């Protein structure tokens, strides 16, 4: 069966198939790869990694605005199929111990399995049970490449791993296609780091939101371990801005939390929800 026709060279499509089917062969051919080929291999590797059905994790955030620092601590259980979550807001007592201040049912600020629209996370879009080298996965990945012009800046190291540094320039809508850089492992083609920049403008107000995400392996999944942010907002002569540093600690990728616990009424009605979510011992 042939790949559908895209506006890419045949070598790029072949590179995807080769990299997913045989990583050892791919790593031996990395010396002459272009930015586009590295990018496609990175997306193919990313899309082939599973998404846990339920993620239980902790978030420690430090937000800075005009010299004032605010810290937030949360325990979150996220159902990845529909992005619903149970969020336990944590408070710190005088002796340093933590307690649950309240439980909310809201969308997390950043999901640890976020892919910045580089790879779909919808189970309807990608058959995650299929083999990594399946035609469906490959064509889905290749179809997304046209969103950016990709340039290989060079090679370096990240967390003692050799990486390619890619520069991404959006071909349209920079607010949606916000990724500006990727750091891709030269041997496994996993993505260690993604940097994005999102411009926005509403009437006379305008600004830029910058984000840098670091990834780490958790079992078979590839999840965000840390995010740093910086934002600047301008309205006439007034300027506002702030920075953020958010650390993610994955607690469980196989949590057994019933569907009724993800609804406020169900959580309140069923006494077992707090324990199933890991909020109580």
pLDDT digits (tens, 9 = 90+) for 5-63: 333 333 334 344 444 444 434 444 445 799 999 998 999 888 888 888 899 999 999 98
Distances (CA, A) of 148 to 170, 172, 179: 4, 8, 9
Instruction: Classify residue 147 as exposed, middle or buried by CB count within 10 Å of its CB (0-12, 13-18, 19+).
Output: middle
Reported as a single tens digit per residue, the pLDDT across 98-125 is 999 999 998 887 889 988 988 876 544 4
Residue whose tokens read 């430090």? 62
d(CA 59, CA 141): 30
Q: Residue 210 in contact with residue 197, Cβ under 8 Å?
A: yes
By the 8 A CB rule, do 253 and 52 touch?
Answer: yes
Q: How confident is the model at residue 273 (pLDDT cuts 50, 70, 90)?
A: very high
- Per-range mean pLDDT, top range of 19-28, 201-210, 238-247, 269-278: 269-278
Q: Cα separation of 14 and 16, whole Å? A: 5
- Contact present, 56 and 278 (Cβ < 8 Å): yes
Cα 187 to chain centroid, rounded: 21
Q: What are phi and psi of 38, to 5 degrees?
A: -65, -45
Q: What pLDDT score was predicted for residue 143?
A: 58
pTM: 0.78
Orientation angle between helical segments 135-143 and 10-21, nearest 10 degrees:
130
- The residue ranking higher by pLDDT, 135 or 9, is 135
**Range scoring the smallest mean pLDDT among 44-53, 121-130, 163-172, 252-261:** 121-130
Contacts of 35 (CB under 8 A, 6+ apart): 150, 151, 152, 166, 167
């Amino acid at each position: 069966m042939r790949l559908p026709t895209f506006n890419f060279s045949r070598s790029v499509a072949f590179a995807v198939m080769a990299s997913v089917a045989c990583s050892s062969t791919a790593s031996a051919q990395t010396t002459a790869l272009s930015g586009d080929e590295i990018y496609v291999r990175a997306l193919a590797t990313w899309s082939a990694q599973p998404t846990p059905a339920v993620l239980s994790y902790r978030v420690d955030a430090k937000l800075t605005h005009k010299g004032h620092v605010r810290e937030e601590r949360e325990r979150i259980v996220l159902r990845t199929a529909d992005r619903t979550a149970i969020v336990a807001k944590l408070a710190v007592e005088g002796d340093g111990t933590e307690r649950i201040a309240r439980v909310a049912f809201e969308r997390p600020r950043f999901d640890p399995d976020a892919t910045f629209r580089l790879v779909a996370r919808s189970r309807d879009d990608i058959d995650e049970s299929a083999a990594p080298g399946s035609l469906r996965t490959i064509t889905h990945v290749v179809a997304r490449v046209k969103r950016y012009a990709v340039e290989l800046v060079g090679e370096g190291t990240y967390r003692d791993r050799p990486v390619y540094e890619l520069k991404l320039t959006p071909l349209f809508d920079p607010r949606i296609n916000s990724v500006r850089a990727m750091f891709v492992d030269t041997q496994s083609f996993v993505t260690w780091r993604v940097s994005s920049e999102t411009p926005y403008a509403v009437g006379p107000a305008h600004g830029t939101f910058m984000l840098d995400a670091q990834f780490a392996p958790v079992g078979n999944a590839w999840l965000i371990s840390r995010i740093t942010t910086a934002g600047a907002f301008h309205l006439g002569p007034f300027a506002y801005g702030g920075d953020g540093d958010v650390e993610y600690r994955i607690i469980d990728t196989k949590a057994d939390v019933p569907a009724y616990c993800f609804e406020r009424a169900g959580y309140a009605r069923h006494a077992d929800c707090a324990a199933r979510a890991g909020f109580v011992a």
